[in-house]
Amino acid sequence: MDPAATSPRRAPAPVGYGAPMDQPWTGDACSLVEAFRTGERHPVEELDATLGAIDTSDLNAFSFLAPEQARERAAGADVQAPFGGVPLGIKELDQVAGWPDTHASAPLADRVASYTTTHVERVTGAGAVPVGLTTASEFGGVNLTRTVLNGATHNPWDRTRTPGGSSGGSASAVAGGLVPLATGGDGGGSIRIPAGFTGLLGLKTTFGRIPRGPHYDVGALTVTVGGLTRSVRDTARWLDVAEGADRHDPHSLPRVGGWEEGLGTHLDELRGLRVAIIDRFAGAVVSPATAAVVRAAGEALVGDLGLRMVDVDVDIPSVGTAWSLANMAGAFAVLGDEWPGCADQLTPEMRFACEWAAGRGLDFDALIRLEARRTALFESMAELFTQTDLVVTSTNPDVAFAADGPLPSVFGGIEDTMANNGRLTIPSNLYGNPAVSIPVGAVDGLPVGMQVLAPHHAEALLLDAAWVAERERPWPLTAPPGSGR
């Protein structure tokens, strides 16, 4: 027996559910690679099962497929590679040379990418087989994946609900059992929000951990990239293959490495750390039922890790307006001369955002006010992590809402505004610190995610916290059988 299998720091490995060969693998990606290596599964057969499931799926998780290209890669897959032979969904806001580059926006339907991002190249270079593009919200602007170009994407736990956004198609595909892995981007919560809505593990890394080149657009300095996965070890392996500095991204960080090998080795560092469980982080309104699930899970994690609970006295300022203005510049830049003539082709949310931003005007005074608000957030987040080492809060203010929208303004019977949807996640995007969404339970049969925030560069602590949560209270790796595809 492998000695590592009996080590007290090792969690039981998630395994597949014994799906027949004509059905996609429903375990995590790491266990699929092991199945390839032992001959239990084969990459070509797995790809055929994947394409068949996508073809019959009602999730609307993919906007573009490249089956022949995928079959060629699967036939030549090196199963000794980290993700050798694993089918991969790529978020349609990512670029793949020769594939559509629409930003999920109807006015840009005919655009084709001329290059492949470093992130995608690293994951596919580790053996993953790109199947196609997963649906996203228009320009990644809202936590709802429903566009004029692609229609509505559905949550595999309940087809009437959204998987969130902007990486909604990626989350739907992974939680719905179509592919074990998919890329995501998190500029305001767009990995964590859909992970929380669909019962997946979603890590937003420290800004710059995974490079964003080539043709790096500095923009608002809020976007990180990563993956939607079913297990902690899948996320750790993703970091092992994707992180590290790249000359095309001037903000990329040096390589660390050892993420998967290091799982479970930081528990002594966690023991005794201060943690604050904050129900209304950043002033967000959270439904009472969701808050109760998250608080119970947070208190359980405190006991598991030997953390020390503290109260904090920090006022996180409202940053929704600053975030929106900072990110709208990128949308205007891509639309170019199409705006405002393309207004009728945009989703209601994007049309409203464009008109709102254009009406405010991005003059020097507005930019000065924007930066002042960001600076205030930086100071408050710095003070927060002076008073505590970790923060536990909800990922989303409520469970997943209607797939067709609109964005909700009522959360567990409590009225607020649509801006409440991103209040829990946006602060970490502006500040740049890492945060992870961990599946911790359900309300009315819909997944609830617990968000854990840490200071910059502390992903290893977040992974170990999630690793312990996964070990002590395992979550379903996909939506339950019987929910259908």
Same domain as 136, residue 225: yes
Can you tell me which residue has the tokens 């790491």?
A: 30
C-alpha 174/C-alpha 252 separation (Å) is 27
Both 328 and 377 in one domain: the answer is no
Q: With respect to residue 485, please indicate whether it lies within any of the assigned structural domains.
A: no
Structure tokens at 41: 């599964």
* Number of domains into which the chain is organized: 2
Does residue 9 lie in a domain region? Answer: no
**Are residue 43 and residue 172 in the same domain, yes or no?**
yes
CA distances from 182 to 38, 63, 113, 137, 412 (A): 24, 13, 19, 15, 31
Same domain, 333 and 257: no
**Could you tell me the sign of the dihedral formed by the alpha carbons of 386, 390, 392, 393, in that order?**
positive
For the chain, which residues score pLDDT lower than 70?
1-19, 218, 325-326, 329, 359-363, 482-485
What pLDDT is attached to residue 367? 73
Residue 288 burial by Cβ neighbours in a 10 Å radius (0-12, 13-18, 19+): middle
pLDDT tens per residue, range 114-129: 999 999 999 999 999 9
Instruction: State the number of CA atoms in the 13 A half-sphere of 157 facing the CB.
Output: 28
Look at residue 11 and tell me if it is in a domain. no
The answer to whether residues 324 and 425 belong to one domain is: no
CA angle 68, 70, 72 (to 5 degrees): 70
Could you give the CA distance from residue 452 to residue 192 in angstroms, rounded to a whole number?
Answer: 10
Q: What gap in Å lies between CA 476 and CA 163, rounded to an integer?
A: 16
Confidence (pLDDT) at 376: 93
pLDDT value, residue 336: 81
**52's tokens:** 């068949």
pTM value is 0.94
Residue 170 lies in a domain: yes
Among residues 430, 165, 410, the alpha carbon closest in space to that of 285 is found at 410
pLDDT at res. 482: 65
Identify whether residues 116 and 61 lie together within a single domain: yes
308-324 burial, b if ≥16 CB within 10 A, otherwise e?
A: eeeebebebebbbebbb
Same domain, 294 and 307: yes
For residue 362, the enclosing domain spans 320-366
484 in any annotated domain: no
| Residue 243 shares a structural domain with residue 338 | no
- Token pair for 67: 């089956």
Count helices and strands in the chain by DSSP H and E runs: 15, 15
C-alpha distances out from residue 133 to 69, 116, 209, Å: 13, 13, 23
Nearest Cα to 320, choosing from 224, 450, 427? 427
Q: What's residue 6's pLDDT? A: 31
